[in-house]
Amino acid sequence: MPPDYESEYGNRARVPEHPRIIAGWQADAAAYRAAAPCELNVSYGEGERQAYDLFKPEAMRGNALVMFIHGGYWQALDRQHFSHMARGLNRLGLAVAVVGYDLCPQVHLGHIVWELQQATAALWRRFGLPVVATGHSAGGHLAACTLATDWKNVDPDLPDQLAPAAYGISGLYNLKPLTETSLNKALNLSLEAAELESPLFWPAPSRLTMDAVVGAEESAEYLKQSRRLVDVWGLEGVATRYEEIAGANHFTVLAGLSEPENAMTRRIAALAGA
């Protein structure tokens, strides 16, 4: 039997306690914004959501910035749910930009990819540092797209390896299955458009680094998404790594990022040279 994509990608239905988890994100994020050294609502574009919140360490280490991209199937949530995802990396000496973007159906998914490219370029122009892209769910998709971007097509003055590494957490890399789900009501993707916006089918960013991690308790489709990207890009010269986070579902998989001693946090810090 073919997969039941509605069930496989229906994360909120699969995790009934998700409202409590998301409410916890909001509370923890607000508390961190109130306490942390930060610059809030820094614009990288004209839209209200085209902005980032920059969280700063006490002392800078490493040789890159980290950009965190939130999830929500490109149609929900915002950066203010996720400020605390910078805490662990800040304590390891890394600056973290938590980035916002417009949502579907107000814009097309391809426009969101463009927005993240603009955000990454803006961070480079401001700080002169490469950007390690990390993101959760839809944010994992956008992190992989950022890694695989041809930066000379964005701006000829940008360096070739503006984003040398990406860390996708429960990401989506082949969007074609989503066209068979109710999620596509807002996304409005044809099969052709879904393929066009899927980093799995882009030229692989050879010689760069892509980690794809996923909660071990997530659906078979989510595990398949990450394994497939690692396998395909790995054969094409990308330094890839796959990992399942024991005991984690689609929402709890993020929990460790707020802590500096967590293995996920330390891996992202290593990718950023800390």
Q: C-alpha angle 80/218/76, rounded to 5°?
A: 30
Q: Which of the four pLDDT bands, split at 50, 70 and 90, describes residue 3?
A: confident
Question: How far is residue 195's CA from residue 110's CA, in Å, rounded to a whole number?
Answer: 11
Average pLDDT over residues 240-256: 97
* Domain harbouring 131, CATH code: 3.40.50.1820
**Which CA distances in Å does 263 have to 169, 243, 266?**
13, 11, 5
Q: Which pLDDT tens digit goes with each residue over 128-156? A: 999 999 999 999 999 999 999 999 999 99
Answer yes or no: are the C-beta atoms of 233 and 174 closer than 8 Å: no
Which structural domain, as residue segments, surrounds residue 227?
5-271
Instruction: Name the band, by pLDDT with cuts 50, 70 and 90, for residue 98.
Output: very high
Is the model's pTM score more than 0.85? yes
Q: Give the pLDDT score at 153.
A: 96
Beta bridge partners of 136: 169
Cα(231)–Cα(234) distance, integer angstroms: 5
Contacts of 15 (CB under 8 A, 6+ apart): 21, 249, 250, 251
Q: List CB contacts of 175: < 8 A, sequence separation 6 or more.
A: 109, 141, 187, 189, 194, 195, 197, 198
What is the reported pLDDT for 193?
Answer: 97
Rounded CA separation 100/82 (Å): 10
Half-sphere exposure of 158 (CA within 13 A, CB side): 24
Query: Can you give the pLDDT at residue 2?
Result: 72
Count of domains in the chain? 1
- Spell out where the chain has E strands: 38-43, 51-55, 65-69, 96-99, 131-136, 165-169, 209-215, 239-245
Which of 126, 144, 136, 102 is CA-nearest to residue 253? 136
d(CA 170, CA 53): 23
The pLDDT assigned to 274 comes to: 87
Residues pairing with 131 in the sheet: 65
181-233 confidence digits (pLDDT tens): 999 999 999 999 999 999 999 999 999 999 999 999 999 999 999 999 999 99
